[in-house]
Amino acid sequence: MQKGGEEKQLRTPQHQRRPGAESKMSPKPVSLNDHVGTGKLKNKVALITGGDSGIGRAVSLLFAQEGAKVVIAYLNEHRDAKETKRMVEEYSECMIIPGDLGKETHCEQVVKKTISKFKKIDIVVNNCALHYETKGLENISTKQLVKTFTNNVFSYFWVTRAALPYMRKGGSIINTSSVTAYRGSASLIDYAATKGAIVSFTRSLSSSLLKRGIRVNGVAPGPVWTPLIASSFKPKKVAKFGSDAPMERAGEPAEVATAYLFLACTDGTYYTGQFFHPNGGEIING
C-alpha cells in the first residue's frame, strides 16, 4: 500500500466489453511459468469451466503439463479458447466446448461430450464467473442478481451433478471462490454472495462425497489479472487493480494455478472441504 493509503497505478488504464479477451489485455496475463511436468496427472481427464483464459487457462496448461487430457467449457471467447487449445495441445489432448453454462441443459451436454470423447472424468474444476460493479444493493436488479447466481453458483451444481455418475474413488472437484466470500465487497455484493455460497457448497459436498473417495476443495483467489477484471471495471480502477493487496500487485494466473494442481493430484489426498487463499498476503480466517 502506498503512503497515505493511495493506490499506485500498475498498468495503462484500459477497458473491454464483456466477457473480455486475454488477447487484448496489456500487459498480457502470465499463464505459463518454468514448470516442468512430472506426470502427476497422467491419464487423468479434467473438465474445466471458464478454461479459455485467466485462471482457467493457467490451470488448463498446468494440468496438461502434468499429463491430463483437458476439456474446456467457455461462453463465446472463441479466439482465446482456440489459443488455449493450441497451447494445451503442446502437452496433451484438448477439447473446447462453447456455450452458456448458465443453462442447465448445456452443462449436461458439456459432460456428455466429455464422456463421449474421453470416456471418463477424474477432475472437475468449476471456475466460470462474472461480476458487475454496482453502487449499493438498491441498484442491483433482479435480472442481474439471477444472472450472477445462475452463472456463478447454479452452473457449479449442474456441471458437478452431471459429472458425478462418471467419477470414481480418487476423483477431485475444485471450486473457485474468492477473497470476497470472506471479507465481502461493497461494490460486488451479489458476486461476493455467490462466492460465499460456493464455500458452503464445497464444504457440504465434501462431506457428502467423503465415503465415495471423491475429494472436494476450493481456491479463493484475491486480485488476479484476468479478462474478468479488464471487462468489469472502469479504466482507472483497472490500472490500479491489485495495488491495495499487501504485496501491492495483482497475482498472475500462473501463480494461482499451482493451488489447483496440488488439490487435483495425489499431493492433496488428505485435503477435502478446504480452501486455499492465493491473495497476495491478505490474512483470511476461514
pLDDT tens track for 117-166: 999 999 999 999 999 999 999 999 999 999 999 999 999 999 999 999 99
pLDDT at 155: 98
pLDDT of 110 strictly over 60: yes
Residue reference for cell 495495488: 243
Out of 132, 166, 191, 260, which one is annotated catalytic? 191
pLDDT at 193: 98
State the average pLDDT over residues 4-9. Answer: 69
* Closest of 50, 102, 107, 104 to residue 73, by C-alpha: 50
Residue 159: which residues within 8 A CB-CB, separation 6 or more? 47, 49, 73, 101, 107, 110, 111, 124, 126
pLDDT tens track for 212-254: 999 999 999 999 999 888 888 899 999 999 999 999 999 999 9
In a domain, 282, yes or no: no
pLDDT at 256: 98
Residue with the bigger pLDDT between 23 and 183: it is 183
For residues 49 and 28, what is the distance between their CA atoms, to the nearest angstrom? 21
- What's the whole-model pTM score? 0.95
Cell of 2: 502506498
Task: Give yes or no: 191 in active site.
Answer: yes
In a domain, 284, yes or no: no
In a domain, 154, yes or no: yes
pLDDT of 1 strictly over 60: no
Residue 55: which residues within 8 A CB-CB, separation 6 or more? 127, 176, 221, 224, 226, 253, 256, 257
Share of the chain above pLDDT 70, in %: 98
For residues 94 and 189, what is the distance between their CA atoms, to the nearest angstrom? 35
Radius of gyration of the chain, Cα coordinates, nearest whole angstrom? 18
Average pLDDT, the chain: 95
In a domain, 100, yes or no: yes
In a domain, 285, yes or no: no
3-state secondary structure of 122: coil
**DSSP letter for each residue of 134-164:** -SSGGG--HHHHHHHHIIIIIHHHHHHHHHG
Least confident of 14-23, 53-62, 145-154, 259-268: 14-23
For residues 261 and 268, what is the distance between their CA atoms, to the nearest angstrom? 9
pLDDT tens track for 129-139: 999 999 999 99
pLDDT of 191 strictly over 60: yes
pLDDT tens track for 62-88: 999 999 999 999 999 999 999 999 999
Residue 45: which residues within 8 A CB-CB, separation 6 or more? 68, 69, 71, 114, 118, 119, 120, 121, 122, 123
- Structural domain of 135: 19-24+38-276
For residues 168 and 205, what is the distance between their CA atoms, to the nearest angstrom? 15
- How many domains is the chain partitioned into structurally? 1
In a domain, 4, yes or no: no
CATH code at 138?
A: 3.40.50.720
In a domain, 6, yes or no: no
pLDDT at 6: 64
In a domain, 229, yes or no: yes
Residue with the bigger pLDDT between 151 and 20: it is 151
pLDDT at 18: 87
